[in-house]
Amino acid sequence: MRKFVLLLSIALVACNSAEKQTSATPEPVAAIEEAEPVGAVARYTFAAAIVDREPVWASAARSTDSGEEAIYFFTELMNLSGQTAHHLWKKNGEEIYDYTSNVTENRWRTYSRMKLTNFKPGDVLQVSVTDGEGNVLAQSSIVMPQPVIDPKYLITSKGAGIFLTDARIPTELAGYDITKVTEIDDGDEYDIYIVSENGQQLLSIENGYGLNTTPMIADNINILSDKLKTSKNIGVGSTIDEFITAYPDAQLYFWCLSSSYTAACEDPEYFAATDQLSFIYFYFDEKGFNMENFDQPEYTSEALVLEPSDFKEDTKIKKIIIFPDWSPS
């Protein structure tokens, strides 16, 4: 979240500068037409924090009373004493919050805020400043930026951070705890190395379970923590809607892991793959599948293609597996 807030702060600086100096809006803020302020509004801007009743941009966002980080909108009003002013917040064109301020002085500074958890990267956020009769006095918009993923937590087709498929598995590494566990599947033994950081499990590395049986060489990497993300901010806990928005080319599948070729599936898997991230499967919580709209097939050796509409909108990714490159060398 801190990386996201930092990038948001940069976006807010750019937005503020654009309002004061030029009509060209630099990245990552989208070029959105702004309403010019009238005499009653001396200043207006988004901000990452409010300090001593003034907006702050190049700073981490201030937490709300509940400890959650927020984005702020600041206005300085002139000669509106005895009237009301509103901050009308919209997300992607839909009204989500109307903040009211009862103005009691000729020079009046006020602000409103919303929790960052209300927004996701790419959302268009607009605030209109209106008077008590609904007249728009000023207006500003920004696009919520993509967060910057720390390279140590970045998921790629090759692995997660410094842990790579088809690479030697470290047994000791500064800053991490690595624990070896031996599992048995259908009589075959294979090793799992669980990687933790500060007491939290990040990922597990398998050896000898897939195609790669070379000792101490990583086979599959299983993502266990929501700290690890793709470059588009997708990880364990992301919703199917967030996933499809980030990877519109993705294909969803149903596959049965049952050992029986004739019985109805007892162990279904619902997963997705995208050409943007080869050798990675994103597995979704089976409870989010709309079973009432779907006749579960008998087991086959082929994966069955699904559509996003086959799932509830809040269905979440429960695990991510990075496989080795199976391409012929």
Domain with CATH 2.60.460.10 in the chain: 151-322
| CA angle centred on 171, ends 166 and 175, rounded to 5° | 105
Percent of the chain with pLDDT over 90: 47
Residue with tokens 């009509």: 23
Cβ contact 119:242 at 8 Å? no
Domain with CATH 2.60.40.1930 in the chain: 2-143
Hey, how many other C-beta atoms are within 10 angstroms of the C-beta on 288? Answer: 18
Q: What is the pLDDT at residue 154?
A: 95
Q: What is the pLDDT at residue 4?
A: 43
Q: Range with the lowest mean pLDDT among 28-42, 74-88, 193-207, 251-265?
A: 28-42
Dist. CA 290–CA 185, nearest whole Å: 31
Superfamily of domain 151-322 in CATH is: protein yfey like domain (2.60.460.10)
**Residue 31 in this model has a pLDDT that exceeds 50:** no
Superfamily of domain 2-143 in CATH is: Macroglobulin (MG2) domain (2.60.40.1930)
Q: What is the pLDDT at residue 56?
A: 86
Sign of CA dihedral 309, 314, 318, 324: positive
**Residue 90 in this model has a pLDDT that exceeds 90:** yes
Q: In this predicted model, what pLDDT tens digit does every residue of 111-169 receive, in sequence order?
A: 999 998 888 888 899 999 999 889 999 999 999 887 778 899 999 999 999 999 988 99
**Residue 179 in this model has a pLDDT that exceeds 70:** yes
Across 306-311, average pLDDT? 90
Across 297-313, average pLDDT? 76
Q: In this predicted model, what pLDDT tens digit does every residue of 41-64 receive, in sequence order?
A: 999 999 988 999 899 875 444 444
Print burial letters for 289-316: b (CB count within 10 Å at least 16), e (below 16). beeeeeeeeebeeeeeebeeebbbeebb
End-to-end CA distance of the chain: 40
Residue 55: φ, ψ to 5°? -75, 145
pLDDT band, residue 7 (cuts 50/70/90): very low
Q: What is the pLDDT at residue 58?
A: 52
Residue 116: φ, ψ to 5°? -65, -25
